[in-house]
Amino acid sequence: MMAKSEWRGTRKSISALMSGAVLAAFAIGASRAHAQVEESEFRAGDGTTYQVIRAETLGGGAERLQITTVAGAIAGAGSCSATGNMSGDPSSAIGGVLPPGMSLHPYDQVKRTAILVPNDISMLHFDPSFGGRVTLGLVNGSELNVCASSFDCTGKPNVQALSTLDQNSGGVPAACIATGLNAGCDGPINQRDTFAFGVPATGNPPVCTGSPPPVTINTFVCATAPSDGFSLPQGQAVIFVYNHSLATNGFAVATGGFGITVDADPRLTCPANSVVSATGDNDSQPAPPAPTNTPTNTPTNTPTNTPTNTPTNTPTVTPTNTPTNTPTNTPTNTPTNTPTNTPTNTPTNTPTNTPTNTPTNTPTNTPTSTPTNTPTNTPTNTPTNTPTRTPTNTPTNTPTNTPTNTPTNTPTNTPTTTPTNTPTFTPTNTPTNTPTFTPTNTATASFTATRTRPPIPVVPSPASPAGLVLVGGLAIGLLWALRRLGRVPL
Q: Return the pLDDT at 466.
A: 77
Q: Per-residue pLDDT averaged across 307-322, rounded?
A: 57
**DSSP codes of every residue in 409-456:** EEEEEEEEEEEEEEEEEEEEE---EEEEE---S-----------PPPP
Write down the pLDDT at residue 285: 95
- Give the pLDDT confidence score for residue 465 in this predicted structure: 78
360: which residues sit within 8 A by CB, 6+ positions away? 375, 376, 378
Distance CA 161, CA 186 (A): 35
Where are the chain's structural domains?
2-285
- Predicted confidence band of residue 400 (pLDDT cuts 50, 70, 90): very low
Does the pLDDT value for residue 28 go beyond 50?
A: no
Annotate 209-221 with DSSP letters as a single string: -SSS-----EEET
Residue 33 backbone dihedrals phi, psi, to 5 degrees: -65, 140
| Phi, psi of 151, rounded to the nearest 5 degrees | -60, -40
Cβ contacts of residue 369 below 8 Å, gap of 6+?
Answer: none
Query: Which pLDDT tens digit goes with each residue over 41-62?
Result: 999 999 999 999 999 988 888 9
The pLDDT of residue 364 is: 41
d(CA 51, CA 59): 23
In angstroms, the Cα distances linking 57 to 60, 61, 259, 344 are 10, 11, 11, 141
Task: Report the alpha-carbon angle 75-253-214, nearest 5.
Answer: 100
Buried b / exposed e along 432-448 (16+ C-beta atoms within 10 A): eeeeeeeeeeeeeeeee
* Mean pLDDT confidence for 304-331: 57
Lowest mean pLDDT among 123-132, 177-186, 294-303, 424-433: 424-433
Q: Which of 255, 274, 258 is nearest to 266 (CA)?
A: 274
What is the spatial distance between Cα 49 and Cα 60, in angstroms, rounded to a whole number?
31
Question: Mean pLDDT in the chain?
Answer: 75
Cis peptide before 427 (omega within 30 of 0): no
Structural contact between residues 432 and 303, judged by C-beta atoms closer than 8 angstroms: yes
Confidence of residue 284 (pLDDT cuts 50, 70, 90): very high
- Look at residue 197 and tell me whether its pLDDT is greater than 60: yes
SS3 192: strand
Residue from 205, 200, 123 nearest 164 by CA: 205
DSSP state letters, 114-166 = --B--S-TT-EEEE-STT-EEEES-SSS--EEE-SSGGGGTT-SSBPP-EETT
Across residues 136-140, what is the average pLDDT? 96
Count of all residues that appear for the chain in the document: 490
Write the pLDDT tens digit of every residue in 378-393.
444 544 454 445 444 5
pLDDT beyond 70 at 167 = yes
Which pLDDT band holds residue 272 (cuts at 50, 70, 90)?
very high
pTM of the entire predicted model: 0.58
Torsion angle defined by CA atoms of residues 107, 113, 115 and 120, in that order, rounded to the nearest 10 degrees: -130
Q: How far is CA 427 from the centre of its chain?
A: 35
Residue 279 confidence (pLDDT) above 90: yes
Structural contact between residues 239 and 38, judged by C-beta atoms closer than 8 angstroms: no
For a pLDDT cut of 90, what percent of the chain falls above it? Answer: 48
CB atoms within 10 A of CB 188: 11
State pLDDT tens for residues 72-85: 999 899 999 999 99
The DSSP secondary-structure symbol of 465 reads H
* Cα gap 111→413, rounded to integer Å: 76
Q: What is the pLDDT of residues 334-366, one digit of tens each?
A: 555 555 554 545 444 544 454 444 444 444 444
Rg (CA), the chain: 60
Phi, psi of 382 (to 5 degrees): -115, 110
